[in-house]
Amino acid sequence: MKSVFKTVLFSCLLLVPGLLSAKTFEGTVKMTMSDSRGETHPISYSVKDSMIRTEMSGEQGMNAAAIIDTDKQLITVLMPDQSMYMTMPMKQTMDKVSSGYVSSDTPLENTGITKIILGYECTKYLTQGRDGATEIWATTELGSFMGLGGGRQGPMGGKRPTPAWEQAIAGKDFFPLLVIGYGERQNKFTLTTTSVERQSLSDSVFEAPEGYRKFDMGAMMQGMGGAMFGQ
């Protein structure tokens, strides 16, 4: 659950710098991420005014969602499998979670080539990093991209670096509808947008569902510490 939580949380954080300057879009964008192992993960982004909700299905069926309210400067993390939620101040959380994020100075080549994807005109961009070459087809009609969770926890506990292509487009006023990574075998992936739904969303979409219990991280850590020392 931890890796899903970190991925979803950082996904939201990458959107914040460009959110207020992005073109107005209200609705839901659905995507599918496929990796070299043949695994696919559905991703959903819902946006309304200053609020964003990101959902992602992780390994072993684990699910998580995170909500950012930039007006209230508050992040709410939902844990559907436990029917729980937790809240955190945005600045404090950004300082901690984005400590592995590298500012966007990765070269990005605009090829000038365009094509229509799901009815939106997209421009082809290319970027190159240690994780290989990436082809990005992005539109300026949907605002800024939220990211996929660079800086998340790796399998041995260390942080995975933010992929170069995410660094290259972070904070920019366009949204990728198709991303194809051509890196080494373990880094190959495809991010495909399956639908863009412009629709009016209820404020309840950006709130913890009724019946969810609030999770107190501080109390849990204190309890764990007491158990470790026989208290």
pLDDT in tens, 197-226: 999 999 999 999 999 999 876 544 444 344
- Cα angle vertex 116, ends 169, 193, to 5°? 55
Out of 3.40.190.10, 1.10.3720.10, 1.10.10.10, 2.50.20.10, select the CATH number for domain 2-208. 2.50.20.10
User: What are the extents of the domains in the chain?
Assistant: 2-208
pLDDT tier, 179 (very low <50, low <70, confident <90, very high otherwise): very high
| Whether residue 32 has pLDDT greater than 80 | yes
Q: What is the reported pLDDT for 41? A: 84
Q: Work out the mean pLDDT of the chain and round it to a whole number.
A: 74
First to last CA, the chain: 27
If you ran DSSP here, which 8-state letter would residue 153 be given? Answer: B
Q: How confident is the model at residue 90, as a pLDDT? A: 75
Which of 12, 9, 30 is CA-nearest to residue 192?
30
pLDDT for residue 218: 56
Question: What would the pLDDT profile of 71-112 be if each residue is shown by its tens digit?
Answer: 888 889 888 888 999 998 876 555 554 444 444 467 889 999
| Structure token pair of residue 189 | 């992936």
Beta bridge partners of 88: 75
**195-199 long-range CB contacts below 8 Å, 24 or more apart?**
195/28, 195/29, 195/30, 195/118, 196/27, 196/28, 196/29, 196/30, 196/118, 196/119, 196/120, 196/142, 197/27, 197/28, 197/29, 197/30, 198/25, 198/26, 198/27, 199/26, 199/27, 199/28
- Phi then psi for residue 115, to 5 deg, are -160, 160
Model confidence at 133, pLDDT cuts 50, 70, 90, reads: confident
Quick: pLDDT tens for 53-76. Answer: 888 876 655 677 888 888 888 889
Per-residue pLDDT of 116-125, as tens digits, reads 999 999 999 9
pLDDT at residue number 221: 44
3-state secondary structure at position 167: helix
Question: Do residues 10 and 149 make contact, with C-beta atoms less than 8 angstroms apart?
Answer: yes
Highest mean pLDDT among 13-17, 32-36, 186-190: 32-36
